[in-house]
Amino acid sequence: MRCENCGAYASRAASFCRNCGAELRNLRLPVKRTPAYPTVWQQTAPVIARGVALVALGVAAEVALNALAKGALRLPALRRPAKTKSLPARRDEHRPKGIYAVTETLVMRRVTLRR
C-alpha cells in the first residue's frame, strides 16, 4: 500500500506512514456491523405455526396411506369366489397299514459363560 502524501510504501496492517507520519486509510478493512437484535417472538410465531401444520399434514398423509394400503390388501380376498366344495381327503397309499411308531431324539445343551 502507498502513502497518499509522500508515495512511500507501507504494509497493509500499518495505520501511519513511517516516512511522513500521515494516517493511512485502508479501504479494504471490513465494515463494522451494527449489533443484531434478538428475534422477536411475534416474527417467529408464524414460522413455528407453519412448521407444526406441515408436521401434522405429514402425519395425516401417512395414516391415510396406511389405511389405503390395508384396504388394497383386503380387496383381493373379497374378490375371490367362495369355495363350493372341499377337496377330497388325502390317501396315504405309500404308508404301510397298521400300527407304526415314531421315534424322536432331542438334545439340549445349556452353556453359561461367566466373566
* 27-71: pLDDT as tens digits: 666 677 888 777 666 777 788 899 999 999 999 999 999 998 888
pLDDT at residue 44, rounded to an integer: 76
Nearest partner of 66 among 74, 54, 78, judged by Cα = 74
pLDDT in tens, 1-31: 788 888 888 887 788 888 888 888 766 666 7
| Residue 52 structural domain | 39-75
pTM for this predicted structure: 0.33
pLDDT at residue 58, rounded to an integer: 96
Does residue 10 belong to any structural domain of this protein?
yes
Q: Report the domain count for the chain.
A: 2
Does residue 57 belong to any structural domain of this protein?
yes
How many Å apart are CA 113 and CA 96, to the nearest integer? 48
Clarify whether residues 63 and 44 are in a common domain: yes
CA distances from 10 to 15, 28, 30, 58, 86 (A): 9, 14, 19, 63, 105
